[in-house]
A and B are shown apart, each in its own frame.
Chain A
Amino acid sequence: MLDFPKWKTWSMWATVVLCLLLALPNALAPSTLALIPDGLPKSQLPLGLDLRGGSHLMLEATALDVEKAKLESLEDTVRGELRSTEGGAIAITDLSLNRGRLTFTVTDLARLDQAISLLNKATAPLGVGNAREVEINRGSVPGQVIVTPTAAGIAAAIDGAMAQAVEVIRKRIDELGTREPTIVRQGKTRIVVQVPGLQDPEALKALLGKTAKLEFKLVDTAADPEEVAQGRAPPGSQILTSQEGGQVVVKRRAIITGDQLVDSQVTTDQNGAPAVSFRFDSTGGRRFAQATTENVGKPFAIILDGMVISAPNINEPILGGSGQISGNYTVQTANELAILLRSGKLPVELKVVEERTVGPDLGADSIKAGIIASIVAVLAVAGLMIMTYGRFGVYSVIALAINVLMILGIMSAAGFTLTLPGIAGMVLTIGAAVDANVLINERIREEQRKGRGVIASVETGFKEASRTIWDANSLNIIVAIIMFLFGSGPIKGFAVVLSIGIATSVFTAVTIVRWMVARWLTNARPATLSI
């Protein structure tokens, strides 16, 4: 064991130096860090939200909602395609969305085939092969068509909706001006949002929890009030609740939707109260102008997320492509609505299913307490080791210090985050490293007692202990990997540190200590060991 080939020495120290370089940026001030040229390690280990404060939110979309949204967009496709086709619009009746499918009846049976082939063209095939997003079948009633989204179609719709939702959320959070938010999809229908150092998570949640689907629909003034009171709307119309109380019957088809908005700002209405202004793009503006020209004198409803905000009369055609929404807003709520309209609607409703918010003060307290405790813990370990094993204890402590720095280096370079459970993991890794050295040293003591010489004791000590260390740490790695795969949140953070730490502690506590011991034995040639 005294024999340490040159290449081994070199590669060992090269590894150590590399990890130390990776850890170095953590000790530098941001100004110094900026001076480091690109290509050299300069990433610092980010602290988890539990340490620096911030909000962790998990949002979930209901798959059922996506299916519903998918059907609603199918409805638009059907109406749009059949209205503007050669040979004039194809008239349909009985359009309904039921049991996850869309059905309608073509009045003119002669044009049924044309309608089906139009829809076949309009709905997209999925990827390669024969998979389609919907199945189009004839129903039992003559002229009836049934459009059913396929499982693959629904999966693709969910996927698309979630990807779009991530973008919308990013825009909304950017509008709040928060620094470095993390927005990632998790699983099929979840999005995790992490915003560090946020003072007011309620504002964030208010922004994320709203779909912000803006629609303008004509009010159905012909509806029979008695029917409406019983919850029955005339065909082609629907009943919505109004923010001002009561119910409003509107045409199902929207004149225009928020998708065509290009801008939205806070403004004041004629009474000086906060209101929200909006502007359409050119097509939207034209369509709005046309619709308002055709319906002068009639009321239309401004609808946000299925709730009628107001239903003013169209006094004159609105030609400028812009307008204003007023209705009991404070400056704050008006601003919120403006942000929502600017960043676009969410394709699905998202609900906060998990929140973990840590105030910045608590985070700072935790760091302080964590550091003090760690220093005392390290001193206690170092003191015990040196008192017990003398020179060998000093070697172990040096190896321990290298170990901690290596963990920091690897974590910084790999882009992991240091959390509170992570620090606990680090302390336990130190335990594993200590144990490796205790095993070796105790074995050397034992061999000495059996009357072996210095070199023979040290050699047997390392050899026999290595096998045990190997066994024990393989097992710990298994446990750490399982924790990483199955654990969630804090357990994962803990497992990451533990896995890295087990590898580095075997390396430092066995290999590096052995190198130090070998050098000392070769140079000093001690006659006895004090261990």
Chain B
Amino acid sequence: MPLKLVPDNTNIGFVKLRFIAFALTLALTIGAGALLALRGLNLGVDFVGGLTMQVEFAQPPALDTLRGRVDRVGVGDSALQEFGNDRTILIRLPLPEGEEGAVQRVVGKVRTALEQNYKGVEFARVESVSGKVSDELITDGLWAVGLSMLFVALFTWFRFEWYFGVSTVVALVHDVVVTMGFFALTQLEFDLNIVAAVLTIIGYSLNDKVVIDDRIRENLRKYRQMDIKQIIDLSVNETLPRTVMTSVTLLAALIALLFLGPEVIFGFTAAMVLGIVVGTYSSIFVSSSLLITLGVKQRAAGTEDARAKGAERIG
């Protein structure tokens, strides 16, 4: 007997729950937004410039002494953090004042200071980014996220109807804001890798929504007399096994990466895990029910026929 994560022929009234879901979504988004505004992201050197060093010591160093020694280099307050184990310390220093090359001189000074004071110290990873480059990386990142959203909206509009585009983007904004809120809450470092994760979350969450939207469109054509609420419930229920199976499989793979994978991708995988949970939630409860609020009409489905047939040929 094959395994079934979701029993056959479920009939859960998702549409009925939509006001609770909307309230929850709104609360989550506002909460995450507030966290972002008040606590802020722990932006990595990619975005604010400065330097990060992952240093491996032979003995666990006394953090206060170490901080003192790093601070004496004289470029501002250092932030120290254990990374994986107590012999590995992540040292963060802010962007020094002065011209573009200044941050490199700090790298040299810190290296020398540590090598003099600690025997057998090793620099596992050094990243330094100047102010100009970090500004560019921010701009690039914002463009990448913004344009992805825009093209997603345009594509869904073109393939479906405008209200699918709107509902999808609303749900995606929620996914992205909540994921970033998580980073504000945990103060995990937000760097370029996390932007890649956010973009991937957009991709996956999108997948979920397109699958459900596709089914709604198909059912709109199939059951012309059925009430729109019923059609949406039917479509979400029909695709539920797939939605759950895909998410569970991905989560299984990601959790393996989270706990067994290299420390460097911890933030990335954490973002992905959360993003998939949030994305699955918003696909099931939010984006499709939002169509009702946006006023999807039976009539619209009729005009859809010609386009959908063309689509079938492609598939």
Chain A interface residues toward B at CB < 8 A: 50, 58, 60, 62, 201-202, 205, 209, 351-359, 361-362, 365-366, 369-370, 372-374, 376-378, 380-381, 384-385, 387-390, 420-421, 424, 427-428, 430-432, 434-435, 438-439, 442-443, 445-446, 449, 463-464, 466-472, 474-476, 478-480, 482-483, 485-491, 494-495, 498, 530-531
Contacts and interface: CB of A to CB of B under 8 A. Distances in A.
A389 B311 contact: no
A489 B152 contact: no
B249 A478 contact: no
Contacts of A488: 136-137, 140, 192
Contacts of B254: 377, 427
A354 B245 contact: no
B177 interface: no
Contact of B199 (A463, A467, A483): A483
Given A355-B129, A359-B125, A427-B257, 16 more contacts: A202-B111, A352-B101, A354-B130, A357-B126, A357-B127, A362-B124, A428-B203, A430-B253, A431-B253, A432-B207, A434-B250, A471-B214, A472-B211, A475-B156, A475-B207, A485-B144
B127 A356 contact: yes
Contact of B315 (A352, A432, A466, A491): A466
Given A354-B129, A369-B261, A445-B241, A388 B4 contact: yes
7 contacts: A62-B100, A380-B252, A420-B264, A424-B265, A449-B9, A463-B315, A482-B151
Given A356-B126, A376-B256, A467 B312 contact: yes
A355 B174 CA distance: 35
B2 A390 contact: yes
B144 A482 contact: yes
Contact of A491 (B54, B199, B241): B199
Interface of A, helix, strand, loop or mixed by DSSP: helix
A260 B71 CA distance: 46
Given A420-B264, A472-B210, A486 B140 contact: yes
A491 B144 contact: yes
Contacts of A430: 253
A40 to B, nearest CB: 34
Nearest to B137: A488
B262 A476 contact: no
B125 A357 contact: yes
Nearest to A466: B315
A385 B249 contact: yes
Contact of B159 (A432, A471, A494): A471
B314 interface: yes
B298 interface: no
B132 A353 contact: yes
B218 interface: yes
B126 A201 contact: yes
A494 B195 CA distance: 11
B101 A351 contact: yes
B147 A482 contact: yes
Contacts of B4: 388
B196 interface: yes
A517 to B, nearest CB: 16
Interface in B193-232: 193, 195-196, 199-200, 202-204, 206-207, 210-211, 214-215, 218
B246 A490 contact: no
Interface residues of B, number: 83
B241 A442 contact: yes
Given A50-B264, A435-B246, A491 B104 contact: no
Contacts of A476: 203, 206-207
A153 to B, nearest CB: 25
Contacts of B107: 355
A531 B2 contact: yes
A421 B268 contact: yes
Interface in B144-200: 144, 147-148, 151-152, 155-156, 159, 192-193, 195-196, 199-200
Nearest to A481: B151
B152 A475 contact: yes
A480 to B, nearest CB: 8
B206 A475 contact: yes
B220 to A, nearest CB: 15
A1 to B, nearest CB: 13
Contacts of A370: 261-262, 265
B242 interface: yes
Contacts of A467: 214, 311-312, 314-315
Contacts of B206: 472, 475-476, 479
A485 B141 CA distance: 11
B3 interface: yes
A430 B210 CA distance: 19
Contacts of A387: 2-3
Nearest to B260: A373
B77 to A, nearest CB: 21
Contacts of B263: 369
Contacts of A434: 246, 249-250
Contacts of A427: 253-254, 257
Nearest to A389: B2
Contacts of B312: 463, 467
A431 B247 CA distance: 9
A446 B238 contact: yes
Contacts of A480: 203
Contact of A384 (B123, B128, B144, B249): B249
B63 interface: no
Contacts of A369: 260-263
B248 to A, nearest CB: 7
A476 B199 CA distance: 10
Contact of A420 (B108, B260, B265): B265
B294 interface: no
A352 to B, nearest CB: 5
A487 B140 contact: yes
Nearest to B248: A384
